[in-house]
Amino acid sequence: MERLICTGKKGDFFTISGSEFKHLKALRINKGEEIEVFCEDRLFLVRLYEIKKDHALCTIVREIKVSLPKPEVFLYQCVPTELGLMDEVVDRSSQAGALKLTPVLCRRGFQVKGKVEEKIERWKRISLASFKQCKRPKPMEISPPIRLEDLKPTVEVPLLLENFTGNLTIREINLKASSYSVVVGPEGGFTKEEVELLKSRGFLPLLLKPYIFRSEMAGAIAVALIMNLAGI
Ligand code: SAM
């Protein structure tokens, strides 16, 4: 079923306008058809009531109750020096099932915090577009950036993706937990000191086989593996 984002409310109707209305037209959805609409953080089954020149009106059929899949995976992505690559990170990790993405400022990555903060709204829009496409129950959250030195393990299984010193394979980690975090390095990888710091805080170095992935790919692969192999 097609999924769109509501752009407003008019009495008992949801309105769809702007780019979402263009999407509706492109999908050739007709009056009377049912679609899913995401509105104020909730998902609804709605029926298309009227299509006007620049917007459509929908009536609510019922709210769709969603439940989040287990386990919860939190992705911490060191922002690549090529900042534009984060668009791919957002889209891929959302499809893979990450619950939340936090951009991390590290030694060999993009370090201007203000510029990263300016991108957050754009990344939220990409996350919303991905939510429509992959039919996740909720959009992946995007957190404000943090510095690598401030990273602390807050989940049952904190993981560090490390293609140099990683000695744990995916089947060797605890696959029975309900929450995981994955820290991914930038294009040039972590510094030795960063790896030591994260390990000393309890992050377990995971090695993905058989080759080295690009930074913008590695996190999504790890998240997808955890989502498919782990959980209670
Ligand atoms: N410059 C590094 C090199 O020459 O080996 C490669 C860094 S890799 C492109 C970027 C990040 O992706 C790494 O820091 C790591 O977090 C993650 N990564 C990529 N492939 C990986 C693998 N096979 N196992 C674990 N982590 C990997």
**Tens digits of per-residue pLDDT, 182-217?**
999 999 999 999 999 999 999 999 999 999 999 999
- The upper half-sphere exposure of residue 193, i.e. CA atoms within 13 Å in the direction of its Cβ, equals 5
- What pLDDT score was predicted for residue 128? 96
Q: To which residue do tokens 């509501």 refer?
A: 6
Report the candidate in 154, 157, 158 with the shortest Cα–Cα distance to residue 184. 158
* pLDDT grade for 10, boundaries at 50, 70 and 90: confident
* pLDDT grade for 231, boundaries at 50, 70 and 90: confident
**Mean model confidence pLDDT for the chain:** 96
Going 216 to 222 to 225 to 231, the CA torsion angle's sign is negative
**Rounded to the nearest whole angstrom, what is the distance from the C-alpha of residue 128 to the centroid of ligand 1?**
28
Q: Which residue has the higher pLDDT, 10 or 148?
A: 148
pLDDT tens track for 138-180:
999 999 999 999 999 999 999 999 999 999 999 999 999 999 9
- What pLDDT score was predicted for residue 12? 87
pLDDT of residue 7 exceeding 90, the answer is yes
- What pLDDT score was predicted for residue 232? 58
Among 160, 161, 217, name the best residue to mutate to test ligand 1's pocket (greatest count of ligand atoms within 8 A of Cβ): 161
Q: What is the pTM of this model?
A: 0.94
Check: CB of residue 183 under 8 Å from CB of residue 151.
Answer: yes
The length of the chain in residues reads 232
Check: CB of residue 27 under 8 Å from CB of residue 21.
Answer: no
pLDDT of residue 60 exceeding 70, the answer is yes
Whether the CB of 168 sits within 6 Å of ligand 1: no
Q: What are the structural domains, with CATH classification, of the chain? A: 3-64 (2.40.240.20), 72-229 (3.40.1280.10)
pLDDT of residue 50 exceeding 80, the answer is yes
Whether the CB of 215 sits within 6 Å of ligand 1: yes
Whether the CB of 227 sits within 6 Å of ligand 1: no
Whether the CB of 203 sits within 6 Å of ligand 1: no
Q: Are strands 55-64 and 100-105 parallel, antiparallel or unpaired?
A: unpaired
**Rounded to the nearest whole angstrom, what is the distance from the C-alpha of residue 189 to the centroid of ligand 1?**
6
